[in-house]
Structure 1
C-alpha cells in the first residue's frame, strides 16, 4: 500500500520562494525526509483542516502559493463587509493549481485542461454549454494537415489495423523504408549513411522520428516551417472561406443583409465556416494540425448559429482540399536563404486528410473531440526535448549543430534568429520554432475555456453542479489582495499527503462513474 501512495507523488523540482525548504526541520535542527515530514504533518492537530484547505490544488505537481488578504464587498454599496488574512489559514498561504496544460509538467492540471478541451470541442459538434443543439445537423469534417518532408525519418506504418483499440495497438507494422539493392535510391547518401531501413518499428522504438541521416536533414527549413505554420493555417482558413463564398455565388444563393449595433447595413455571404483546431508536435519534431471545421449559415442576427442553406458536406470538403492544396507563401529573405523559404502543406495525397463527421459512423463527434483533446496536452516532449524558455546562458546545454535531432533543431533556431528580422525564432527555440497556440477556435464555433472554468468554480462553491444556473445573483463581491509567495509544495511530505488524497478521490469518482454507466 505504501508503494502505491508514494507513486502518486510528483517530482519536486521547483520548490521556490523566500525562506522555503524542501523538507521540514526537526526540533534538533536536522532536515526531515519525505516520510518523516509527512508523518509530522499527519500527526498535527490541524491535519484535516489543512487537507481541506489544499483540496483545490491537491493533485497539482507545482501549485502556486499566494499570500495576502481576501475582502468581501457589498456590490450595491461598495461597503467592505469582511476581510480574511491568509496568515490565519493553514501554512499562512492559499494554494492554487498551476493550470499547466502539458501532461509532462503537471498530469493533474493537464487532465483538467484535457476534459475542458473535450467539452469545448464536442459542444461545437453536438451542442450544449450554450451552443444550440441544431449544430449536430450542420455539415462538419475532420481535417489533418501535415508538413512536407525535410528529410527521410524512421516511421511506423500499419496498413491494416486488427487491434481492438489504437491506444494499445500491437498490429504488425510495415518495413520502415524498404528498397531493393537494385534500386538506385537504395545507395548510401553522400555522407555514407544508409537510405534503407527494413525494421518493423514498435510504437515505443526510440528511433521513430529520427532522420536516417542527420547531416542530410533540412533543419533550417523545418524550424522555419514550424514558425510559419500559424500563418499558413490563417491563410488556409481564409482560402476555405473564399472558396465556399464562391461556391455560394455559383449556386445563386443570395447574400444576407445584417444591421450592426451602430446601424450600419452590410451584405454578407450566406455561409461561414467555423473551426476548432489542435496543433500536435510529431516525433520528427514538426507541427501538424488536426481541425474540426463546421459549416454554418448566416442569419440577420450576427451572433445566431443557424444551419447552412444550399451547401453541404461535399462542398465543405472540396473547399478544404482546394485551399490546402493551393495555399502557399514565401517568407522574408534571410542571409542564408536570400530567396526566402517556400511554405506549404505536405503532399496533397498523403499530407492532407479530410473525413466527414457523422453521428454514428467511423468518425463521430465524441471520438473526434476526444482525439483532439488528448493531443492538446502534448508539447515537444514527444521529440525528446522538455520545453522551457532558453537564453544565451543555457543555450549551449541544448543546442549543438553536430548533436542529436532536437539539439540540431534548437541550434538552427538560434543561428537563424541572429538576424534582426528573425529574432522570434530565438524566443521560440524551446518550442523548436513553433510559437502558436496548441488549441484555438473561431469565435462562433463553441464556448470558451473561461465559461467552463467559471462553471466549475460555481459548482465547487455551491456543490450543486447542474443547479448552479438557478442560483440567485450574488450580492457580494470577493476581491483577492494577494501576492505571489512561491511555487511547489512546502515539503515532499506535503506533496505525498495531498496527492495521495487527490488520487483516492479521483479513484472513487471513476468507480462511481463506471457503476452509473453499468446501471444505465
Structure 2
C-alpha cells in the first residue's frame, strides 16, 4: 500500500509562522542577532526601596519581567558570532581611539600632542612561501615559484617547499610571541632612559611608556603585531611628557630595541633556538584626526581611521581559512578541519611538541587551534586609556538610567531584583540561527548606512 506523500514545507517559513516567533524575534533583536545566545530563565523587577512595591512604567505595565530571555555570547570572533564581534569591535575602536585623541573615556585631549607612533613588528622567515610581489614602481613581479599569483590565490602564504619549511621554529616563535613583545618593551624603556641620560630605575619617575597592540595573523599562519606607542609623563595620559621625549627619539629607541630583543627557546633534540623579530619593521608618526585616509601622502597615520583599522584586526583573529574556532581535542580532529595543508601541519607540529616534557609550560595542545599563539589579540598598557570593563559598565549604566528616566525615579530610591539561571547555549535549530544571522546582518548594514550618511553630513 502506497503511503501518501508528505508535502514539502520550508522550515524557515514554518519558524516564521510559529505562534512564538514574535517573542523569539524580540529576544534575538535584544542581543543584536547573536548566533550563539545564552538562554536564561528567571525574572527581574524594579521595586521601591521603601515600600517594596513594584514600580509601574508609563504604559501602565509593571516594571517586571519573568520567563525566558537571551544574553549575548560575547565571542569576539566574526567567524563565530558576527553580532558580538561587531560589539567588541566598537568597544575596541573607542578604547584605542581614546588613547590616541583623548577628550573621551576619561583621557584628556592633550594626548594628541604627545609623541605617538604606529609600529608594525613582524615575524622572521621560516621558509619561502608563495606571495604577490611588486617592484619599486608598483609593477607585479613573479613569485619565487616563477608564477604570478592573483590576490585571492589560495597558494599565497603556503610554503614553496613544505619539506624544507621550519614548522618547529614557526610554532616555537608563535608560542613565545607574547614574551618577545614583553622583552621588547623592557629594552625600549632601557634605550629611552639611555637616550634621556637617566638610569633605567629613574625612568619611571620621568616618563611612562603607554601602548595598545593588536595581533594580526598573516596568510602564512604567523602573527604580526601592530601597536600604537605613546610617551607620557610618569602618571600616564594626564601627565605632561618630558621635553626630551620626541617622536624622533622614540623612533630611534624602537629601532634599537627591535634589534636587541631576543628570547631563548627551550632546547629540543640538542638544538638551541634564539627567537627574534623579523627584519621588516614599520614605524610611522600619528597626527591628529583631520583627514579621510589612514595614511596621507607623507606616510603619516591619522587617528580616526587607525582606530578602525586596529579594531578590525582585534575582531578578525583567526578565521576558518587560518585555524579553528574551537580547541583541538585530538590529533585526528585536525584532519577534519577545513584548513589548508600548511595550517594543518602547523597544528600537527604544535600538537606533537605539546607532548614534550621540556615544553610543558607552553600548553601547546591547549593553543593548537590558535596555531600556537597564546596571547591576547588586543592588549594595552595599564594607563593607555580606558578598559573594556569600564566601557561595558558605562553601557549598562546608561541603559539603567534610561529605564529610570522612563519610570521617573532615581537610582537611590529603587532596588533592582535580578534572578536568572542559564538553561542552555545556542539556538534550538539551524533555522533559528540562520534567521538570527540575517537579523545581525540587517543591523550591521543599517549601522554602515547611518555612519556613511553621518560622514557626508
Fold shared per TM-score above 0.5: yes
Does the Cα contact within 8 Å between 1:132 and 1:305 map onto a contact in 2?
A: no
After superposition, residues 268-307 of structure 1 pair within 5 angstroms as: 268-299=204-235, 304-307=238-241
Please state if 1:114 is matched with 2:101: no
Distance 1:245 1:319 in 2: 9
Corresponding residue to 1:354 among 260, 278, 283: 283
Please state if 1:377 is matched with 2:306: no
Q: CA deviation at 1:506?
A: 4.3
Aligned to 2:128: 152
- Per-residue CA distance 1:98-117 (angstroms, 9 max, x = gap): 11111111122112211211
For structure 1, the residue ranges without an aligned partner over 5 or more in a row are: 1-28, 162-170, 178-196, 256-266
Q: CA deviation at 1:489?
A: 1.9
Does the Cα contact within 8 Å between 2:334 and 2:347 map onto a contact in 1?
A: no
Distance 1:32 1:478 in 2: 45
Distance 1:278 1:458 in 2: 28
Aligned to 1:129: 105
Does the Cα contact within 8 Å between 2:130 and 2:158 map onto a contact in 1?
A: yes
Aligned to 1:15: none
Does the Cα contact within 8 Å between 1:148 and 1:346 map onto a contact in 2?
A: yes
SS at match of 1:453: helix
Distance 2:243 2:8 in 1: 71
Q: CA deviation at 1:495?
A: 3.9
SS at match of 1:381: coil
SS at match of 1:144: strand
Aligned to 2:273: 341
Corresponding residue to 1:173 among 127, 136, 140: 140
Aligned to 2:186: 238
Q: CA deviation at 1:353?
A: 1.2
Distance 1:354 1:111 in 2: 28
Q: CA deviation at 1:284?
A: 0.5
Q: CA deviation at 1:388?
A: 1.5
Aligned to 1:331: 265
Does the Cα contact within 8 Å between 1:59 and 1:498 map onto a contact in 2?
A: yes
Seen in structure 2, the aligned counterparts of structure 1 residues 475 and 245 have a Cα distance that, compared at 3 Å, is farther
Corresponding residue to 2:248 among 286, 311, 314: 314
Seen in structure 2, the aligned counterparts of structure 1 residues 479 and 410 have a Cα distance that, compared at 3 Å, is farther
Give the alignment's TM-score, normalised by structure 2: 0.83
Seen in structure 2, the aligned counterparts of structure 1 residues 398 and 129 have a Cα distance that, compared at 3 Å, is same
Seen in structure 2, the aligned counterparts of structure 1 residues 472 and 354 have a Cα distance that, compared at 3 Å, is farther
Please state if 1:216 is matched with 2:147: no
Does the Cα contact within 8 Å between 1:409 and 1:432 map onto a contact in 2?
A: yes
Distance 1:473 1:292 in 2: 39
Please state if 1:419 is matched with 2:356: yes
SS at match of 1:247: helix
SS at match of 1:440: strand
Aligned to 2:80: 105
Distance 1:395 1:505 in 2: 35
More divergent stretch after superposition (471-480 vs 405-414): 471-480
Aligned to 1:68: 42
Aligned to 2:306: 368
SS at match of 2:344: helix
Aligned to 1:184: none
- Per-residue CA distance 1:391-435 (angstroms, 9 max, x = gap): 237446359xxx921121111111111122323111111111111
Aligned to 1:26: none
Distance 2:453 2:412 in 1: 36
Please state if 1:408 is matched with 2:345: yes
Distance 1:479 1:282 in 2: 48
Seen in structure 2, the aligned counterparts of structure 1 residues 343 and 453 have a Cα distance that, compared at 3 Å, is same
- Per-residue CA distance 1:236-291 (angstroms, 9 max, x = gap): 011111211222226x9996xxxxxxxxxxx9431111000001111111111000
SS at match of 2:158: coil
Distance 1:58 1:269 in 2: 46
Seen in structure 2, the aligned counterparts of structure 1 residues 205 and 172 have a Cα distance that, compared at 3 Å, is farther
Does the Cα contact within 8 Å between 1:58 and 1:499 map onto a contact in 2?
A: no
Q: CA deviation at 1:305?
A: 3.5
Distance 1:377 1:130 in 2: 24
SS at match of 1:279: strand
For structure 2, the residue ranges without an aligned partner over 5 or more in a row are: 1-5, 56-63, 291-295
Task: Give RMSD over aligned pairs.
Answer: 3.4
Seen in structure 2, the aligned counterparts of structure 1 residues 268 and 215 have a Cα distance that, compared at 3 Å, is closer
Corresponding residue to 2:391 among 444, 448, 452: 452
Seen in structure 2, the aligned counterparts of structure 1 residues 213 and 136 have a Cα distance that, compared at 3 Å, is same
More divergent stretch after superposition (376-385 vs 134-143): 376-385
Aligned to 1:21: none
Distance 1:99 1:413 in 2: 28
SS at match of 1:230: helix
Distance 1:479 1:241 in 2: 49
Give the alignment's TM-score, normalised by structure 1: 0.74
Number of residue pairs matched by the alignment: 427
